[in-house]
Chains A and B, each alone.
Chain A
Amino acid sequence: AQSVAQPEDQVNVAEGNPLTVKCTYSVSGNPYLFWYVQYPNRGLQFLLKYITGDNLVKGSYGFEAEFNKSQTSFHLKKPSALVSDSALYFCAVRYYSGSARQLTFGSGTQLTVLP
């Protein structure tokens, strides 16, 4: 079965420092990987996705993610964190297997950027 893991429940980083939010996946076949962000009392906002091609994907708000097939990882990164980046981040994987196409989410990582 497809799955995605976010090993850190909480990540703290100082403003201006680089940030990384980790994600690993387990799926047979080609994965389609997504990152979403959720602010309090809001829905999920799409940040970026990996389908194929360049392993470094650039997304919204200065975020990027690196797909690493050998390590089955898709870590979210940003060179310089902002206090406004503080939110809940979700990694998700979607793949085709028979009739199963739903988006499977990780448990989420709470990012706190300290001023």
Chain B
Amino acid sequence: KAGVTQTPRYLIKTRGQQVTLSCSPISGHRSVSWYQQTPGQGLQFLFEYFSETQRNKGNFPGRFSGRQFSNSRSEMNVSTLELGDSALYLCASSPNGPGEQETQYFGPGTRLLVL
């Protein structure tokens, strides 16, 4: 089975622009979560989607948004980019709902650099 795929892998943007990142979960997985990884803050949860509905949201400003499509693929969008948004954005999928026992499988990430 193919793993979680994320596109693009690398991205350079300037302040004030917006960006859309894409994630395709493992085939058959229905839940997708997004995380931001930075050297200073570590791994921080952004949001989780299941059946096209946002089930949980981390403590990020409204500039960060996401959605999930009927085929479970997900996108996240960051508007009005700031320098501090430079990070590795990781997507993870799990088979069923957002249950505590579920193992999340991660993609390789999208490295975003904001200049």
Contact = CB atoms under 8 A, between A and B. Distances in A.
Given A101-B48, A101-B99, A101-B100, A43 B107 contact: yes
A43 B56 contact: no
Contact of A101 (B4, B43, B98, B109): B98
B15 interface: no
Contact of B45 (A42, A104, A107): A104
Number of contact residues on B: which range applies? 20 to 34
A96 B90 contact: no
Given A101-B55, A101-B56, A43 B101 contact: no
A49 interface: yes
Interface string A40-73: 0111111001010000000000000000000000
A104 to B, nearest CB: 7
Contacts of B107: 43
A65 to B, nearest CB: 14
Contacts of A45: 106
A100 B56 contact: yes
B42 A105 contact: yes
A102 B48 contact: yes
Given A42-B108, A43-B106, A49-B103, A105 B55 contact: no
A113 B78 CA distance: 38
24 contacts: A32-B101, A34-B103, A41-B111, A42-B109, A43-B4, A43-B6, A43-B106, A43-B107, A43-B109, A45-B106, A51-B101, A94-B100, A94-B102, A99-B55, A100-B56, A101-B100, A102-B33, A102-B48, A102-B58, A103-B33, A103-B35, A103-B45, A105-B42, A107-B42
Given A49-B103, A99-B56, A107-B42, 17 more contacts: A32-B100, A32-B101, A34-B103, A36-B106, A41-B108, A42-B108, A43-B90, A44-B92, A44-B106, A46-B103, A94-B102, A101-B56, A101-B98, A102-B33, A103-B45, A103-B92, A103-B104
Interface of A: 32, 34, 36, 41-46, 49, 51, 90, 94-96, 99-108
